[in-house]
């Protein structure tokens, strides 16, 4: 499905680019290169806080991401549902009526996130950024019968949706030239997302009961997280490139008694300018994160997602993208972009779901 959407989106970008080019009063490449808004003046759409603005300039942005997970991993190896329910210990086995191993297995999870952003530059050396996030999550699970064995009892699904956490950031210029640019990123996660989402689950004893859903199904992190980082951009002719390193450091545990631990993200990218209104990109991303510290006393079930030790690890992706920007008339400055992500490597803590492809669309407009 993702590959079909990606192909259609690329076709749309190519059509948009051609229209922007043909509407120009001068079709020559030289004119476009000298006077047009370069599509590669922004990083691939999945990179946040990649550029500063001129004093007094505003920018609005809208991003939409779809992500899927299917199957399960133990470390970096695939593990079957039957192996999970017969060999993976249940962290709550000491509690009354709890089985010794896990008895509920996630099979598939779909998530969408819509990100509404705004940037404003009070000076040429300082740009402010705010982002509001909305998420929707759906998970399908299989419950196995009784305290042991490999007999499936039935399937059920849970879902949550709503406002997630917001982010405030400041971008501070360090060194800028025509070919090399450096700036600091200083961000703060604002815990707006709910931490007490619940849903109906099927227990191994064939009962339907309402309970607080595991950490991965909640809408926010619940903590104020400091997010420092640094970003570099380079340019030579039709080639642009860049890199960004970011940290996320929880300042305290949340109201439910846990935090998501620290995480580190590194991404590098290269873009090629096909024509002034159209560029294509290749990007590599790596993320390393801790397991959850502490736990929510209301989250307790024989499923991997209820155990804080089954969070975090190392993952990397390769993404292919395109940026297209209108050049004049009603299209000038309106930017559309996409990125398609393929997992390269995964080494997770404990047992977790296997990450599938991701897709992100975006729109940006500066004024």
- String of DSSP letters for 54-65: -TT-EEEEEEEE
**What average pLDDT score do residues 190-209 get?**
96
Query: How is residue 355 written in tokens?
Result: 């990450």
Report all structural domains of the chain as residue ranges with CATH numbers, in order of start. Answer: 2-366 (2.40.160.40)
Give tens-digit pLDDT for 7-64: 444 444 444 444 444 443 333 334 334 458 999 999 999 999 999 999 999 999 999 9
Alpha carbon distance 265, 286 (integer Å): 6
- pLDDT of 134 > 80? The answer is yes
pLDDT of residue 330: 81
Say if residues 305 and 211 touch (Cβ distance below 8 Å): no
Nearest to 70 by CA among 37, 41, 109: 109
pTM, two decimals, is 0.87
Give tens-digit pLDDT for 242-270: 999 999 999 999 999 999 999 999 999 99
**What average pLDDT score do residues 337-365 get?**
97
pLDDT of residue 36: 81
Say if residues 201 and 104 touch (Cβ distance below 8 Å): yes
pLDDT of residue 35: 58
């Amino acid at each position: 499905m993702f590959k079909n959407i990606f192909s259609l989106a690329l076709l749309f970008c190519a059509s948009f680019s051609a229209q922007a080019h043909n509407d120009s009063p001068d079709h020559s490449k030289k004119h476009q290169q000298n006077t047009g808004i370069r599509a590669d003046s922004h990083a691939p759409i999945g990179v946040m806080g990649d550029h500063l603005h001129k004093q007094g300039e505003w920018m609005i942005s809208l991003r939409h991401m779809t992500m899927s997970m299917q199957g399960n991993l133990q470390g970096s190896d695939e593990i079957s549902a039957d192996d999970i329910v017969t060999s993976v210990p249940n962290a709550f086995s000491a509690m009354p009526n709890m089985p010794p191993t896990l008895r509920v297995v996630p099979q598939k999870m779909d998530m969408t996130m819509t990100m509404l952003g705004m940037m404003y530059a009070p000076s040429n050396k300082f740009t402010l950024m705010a982002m509001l996030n909305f998420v929707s999550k759906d998970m399908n699970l299989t419950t196995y019968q009784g305290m042991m064995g490999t007999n499936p009892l039935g399937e059920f699904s849970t879902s949550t949706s709503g406002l997630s956490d917001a982010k405030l950031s400041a971008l501070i210029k360090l060194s800028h030239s025509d070919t090399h640019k450096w700036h600091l990123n200083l961000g703060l996660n604002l815990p707006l997302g709910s931490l007490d989402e619940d849903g109906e689950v099927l227990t191994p004893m064939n009962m339907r009961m309402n309970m607080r859903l595991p950490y991965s199904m909640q809408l926010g992190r619940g903590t104020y997280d400091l997010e420092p980082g640094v970003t570099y951009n380079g340019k030579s002719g039709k080639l642009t490139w860049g890199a960004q390193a970011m940290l996320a450091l929880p300042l305290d545990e949340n109201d439910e008694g846990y935090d998501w631990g620290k995480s580190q993200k590194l991404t590098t990218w290269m873009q090629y300018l096909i024509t002034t209104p159209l560029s294509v990109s290749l990007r590599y991303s790596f993320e390393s994160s801790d397991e959850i510290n502490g736990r929510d006393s209301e989250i307790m079930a024989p499923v991997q997602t209820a155990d804080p030790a089954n969070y975090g690890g190392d993952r990397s992706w390769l993404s292919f993208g395109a940026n297209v920007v209108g050049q004049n008339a009603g299209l000038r400055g309106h930017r559309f972009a996409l990125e398609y992500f393929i997992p390269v490597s995964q080494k997770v803590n404990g047992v977790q779901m296997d990450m599938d492809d991701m897709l992100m669309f975006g729109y940006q407009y500066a004024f």
